[in-house]
A and B are shown apart, each in its own frame.
Chain A
Amino acid sequence: EDQVTQSPEALRLQEGESSSLNCSYTVSGLRGLFWYRQDPGKGPEFLFTLYSAGEEKEKERLKATLTKKESFLHITAPKPEDSATYLCAVQGSNDYKLSFGAGTTVTVRA
């Protein structure tokens, strides 16, 4: 069974204080690792898909990287508007569903 563990559960940052979120996974044949952002009262919003170890994707202050066992979401010089819950999910070779981690809630203080 596919498993996804995210750490830490919560992260409080000062504006401009860079940090990283971790997503550890076990999956039978990785087809894709996905990062989503979820704001309170809303559904998750797609950020990135990573397919193979060594791959990196960037969007504004966010950068996602992938190894064979984990993915990191780096937040560089965060702003208060980056406050959200960040979800990691994997899709295995069975291809019918995404398995999600519990998320990391990031709070950025001005």
Chain B
Amino acid sequence: DADVTQTPRNRITKTGKRIMLECSQTKGHDRMYWYRQDPGLGLRLIYYSFDVKDINKGEISDGYSVSRQAQAKFSLSLESAIPNQTALYFCATSDGGNYGYTFGSGTRLTVV
């Protein structure tokens, strides 16, 4: 099993719909992150969490919300999806040490 699992892998949704992307990890790390990746822009941080009771906004949090249900689970929601939220979304974990992040395989989201 993968260390970081994201579901779904692919999703097409309509403008205005609410959608949730889920992430679970078996690394035992406290820190979890949500990034989006767009061609030519690299990975940009949406939200991050250092423990179950700690949630922080990243550089592009508008239009998104998150929930940290447990140490191992961190979900990202789009309250009312819009086409410019079409992107590849990655969840990542870290222990704050020397090996950076462990990433999931990503969710490709298309908003039509």
A interface vs B, CB < 8 Å?
4, 9, 32, 34, 36, 41-46, 49, 87, 89, 95-98, 100-103
Contacts and interface: CB of A to CB of B under 8 A. Distances in A.
Describe A's contact surface by its main secondary structure: loop
A43 B42 contact: no
Contacts of A96: 48, 50, 56
Given A43-B4, A87-B42, A87-B43, A49 B100 contact: yes
Interface of B: 4, 33, 35, 40-45, 48, 50, 56, 58, 90, 92, 96, 98-106
Given A42-B106, A97-B48, 11 more contacts: A4-B42, A36-B100, A44-B90, A44-B101, A46-B101, A49-B100, A87-B43, A98-B100, A98-B101, A102-B41, A103-B42
